[in-house]
Chain A
Amino acid sequence: MELNGGSVVAMIGKDCVAIASDLRLGNQAVGIASNFDKVFPVNDKLYYGLPGLATDVYTLREHLRFRVNMYRMKEEREITPKTFTHLVSSTLYEKRFGPFFIEPVVAGLPTPTELDPHPKPFISTMDTIGCITTPKDFAVAGTAADKLYGVAEGLWEPDLEPEDLFETVSQTLLNAVDRDALSGWGAVVHIITQDKVITRTLRARMD
């Protein structure tokens, strides 16, 4: 966590979700790279962020890509956000006594089905050993988590439209990481809606 730095935030809007991360990779106080993305897609309706130890970001991402591909081939359908959360959770708990130093955040829109024609946007977060929390407003993780809680608590409101949600999540992230020495160095935001995903990189303070 405090070795490489980095933060992720996810928020729920009206029929949309947002997930954003900073781009810093550090070695304690020394900044190494400003292109280290921590948010990855599973499919075009489901993204997840992995803030924490950078070596585990790669390892866990490779591991999850394998497991999602296996799921896709066995089930012949895309994984839902809820199932994916449990997949991540059990992957983390497998390493209960030598954990991945990562606190994942999942954000996605479930596809409408016959049983559930109007599914709600979904976000969830876990601790390093896979204990799930499913908030109905926002989820934060990483070295700036405490700051993110404060800003998100003040800025978030229910039923934000995609563009308003983008503004809220961007301001939340930028203002939180500016108060954290281990996060920042650029940011990337994904807004997931039923018909498209909007990805934007933000200009941020580079100090």
Chain B
Amino acid sequence: MECSFGLTGKDYVLLCSDMSAGRSIIRMKSDENKIKTLGPHLAMAYGGEPGDTNNFAEYVERNMRLYHIRNHYPLLPESASAWIRRTLAESIRSRKPYSVNLLLAGYDTTTTKPHLYWIDYLGTKAVVPYAAHGMGVYVSLSTMDKWWFNDMNKREGVDVLKKCIDEVKKRITVHFNFNCILIDKDGIHHIDIESEDPITELESQQPKETLVDAPNPPLDIGNVGVTA
């Protein structure tokens, strides 16, 4: 009972996930954040077996952080997707596989291109302009097929996302609350998808106010580790 989707635009990528947590037909929580920020311009929406999901998401998060600390620059989306895919592919043939599906969204600061990857628990990776996981696929994929187009600006992107959410609310009996982020050149921003015009709100505020913190603030590399 979960639902997440993502879409790319001209110079940004949107990622959206439901916030329910529970077992079978019982919802125990409706404000669980199921989007993990993995770096300054990288985030993933994850779902699957409860327990595996958080465990795997934290494992990925700390490895991304480790790479950042060791190399003084974060792993680019393409490379991060390859690492995550490989981790899941090795896991699926192990004694106790992770049962986690995810959408990986990132903004490549070197090429200024947005990236979106559809990855499932088998280690299947698809490079896609828009994608969905969970119950949302049956209604939101066709909505995005109809409304998505190349190089959308932020308002157009949010409009398509809203159409998807409306469709989910209309056609799926389960009620969902949604949590939404936007990644662009400035970093990861939280978006209030329920509001009338989230992009105006985003632009009217100071960039810092909407920013979602990456795992630990970046290290000041000038002062670290260079003794002797």
Q: Decide whether A and B assemble into one complex.
A: yes
- Say yes or no: A25 contacts B124, CB within 8 Å: yes
Q: How many A-B residue pairs have CB under 8 A?
A: 45
Q: Which of B33-41, B85-93, B159-167 contacts A (4 or more CB under 8 A)?
A: B85-93
**B126 close to chain A: CB less than 8 A:** yes
4 nearest CB pairs, A to B: A55-B123, A33-B126, A54-B124, A55-B122
Q: Which of A32, A55, A62 contacts B131 (CB 8 A)?
A: A32
Query: Which residues of chain B have C-beta atoms less than 8 A from A4's C-beta?
Result: 124
- Say yes or no: A33 contacts B128, CB within 8 Å: yes
Query: Which residues of chain B have C-beta atoms less than 8 A from A62's C-beta?
Result: 86
Residue-wise, chain B 140-171 has the 8 Å CB interface mask toward A (1 for contact) of 01000000000000000000000000000000
A84 CA / B85 CA spacing, docked (Å)? 26
**B61 close to chain A: CB less than 8 A:** no
**When A30-B141, A32-B118, A33-B118 are in contact, do A98 and B128 touch as well, CB less than 8 Å?**
no
**A53 close to chain B: CB less than 8 A:** yes
Distance in Å: Cβ of B104 to nearest Cβ of chain A: 14
- Decide if the interface of chain A is mainly helix, strand, loop or mixed: mixed
Query: Which residues of chain B have C-beta atoms less than 8 A from A33's C-beta?
Result: 118, 126-128
Distance in Å: Cβ of B80 to nearest Cβ of chain A: 15
**A66 close to chain B: CB less than 8 A:** no
- Say yes or no: A30 contacts B137, CB within 8 Å: yes
Q: Which of A3, A25, A59, A98 contacts B126 (CB 8 A)?
A: A25
Residue-wise, chain A 51-71 has the 8 Å CB interface mask toward B (1 for contact) of 001110011001000000000
A/B interface sample: 8 pairs, CB < 8 A: A25-B126, A27-B137, A32-B131, A35-B127, A54-B124, A55-B89, A55-B122, A62-B86
For residue B120, which residue of chain A has the nearest CB? A27
Query: Which residues of chain A have C-beta atoms less than 8 A from B88's C-beta?
Result: 55
- Say yes or no: B92 contacts A55, CB within 8 Å: yes
Q: Which of B85, B92, B93, B126 contacts A32 (CB 8 A)?
A: B126
A58 CA / B93 CA spacing, docked (Å)? 14
Residues in B109-145 with C-beta less than 8 Å from chain A: 118, 120, 122-128, 131, 137-138, 141
Q: Which residues of B contact A (CB under 8 A)?
A: 85-86, 88-89, 92-93, 118, 120, 122-128, 131, 137-138, 141
Query: Which residues of chain A have C-beta atoms less than 8 A from B85's C-beta?
Result: 55, 58
A122 CA / B86 CA spacing, docked (Å)? 32
Residue-wise, chain A 84-109 has the 8 Å CB interface mask toward B (1 for contact) of 00000000000000100000000000
- Say yes or no: A58 contacts B131, CB within 8 Å: no
**A36 close to chain B: CB less than 8 A:** yes
Distance in Å: Cβ of A129 to nearest Cβ of chain B: 16
Query: Which residues of chain A have C-beta atoms less than 8 A from B126's C-beta?
Result: 25, 32-33, 35-36, 54
- Say yes or no: A59 contacts B123, CB within 8 Å: yes
Distance in Å: Cβ of A65 to nearest Cβ of chain B: 13
For residue B119, which residue of chain A has the nearest CB? A55
For residue B141, which residue of chain A has the nearest CB? A30
A33 CA / B127 CA spacing, docked (Å)? 7
Query: Which residues of chain A have C-beta atoms less than 8 A from B118's C-beta?
Result: 32-33
For residue A30, which residue of chain B has the nearest CB? B137
A58 CA / B125 CA spacing, docked (Å)? 8
For residue A31, which residue of chain B has the nearest CB? B141
A33 CA / B120 CA spacing, docked (Å)? 13
A30 CA / B118 CA spacing, docked (Å)? 13
Distance in Å: Cβ of A92 to nearest Cβ of chain B: 14
For residue B92, which residue of chain A has the nearest CB? A55
Query: Which residues of chain A have C-beta atoms less than 8 A from B93's C-beta?
Result: 98
**When A30-B137, A32-B118, A33-B118 are in contact, do A59 and B89 touch as well, CB less than 8 Å?**
yes
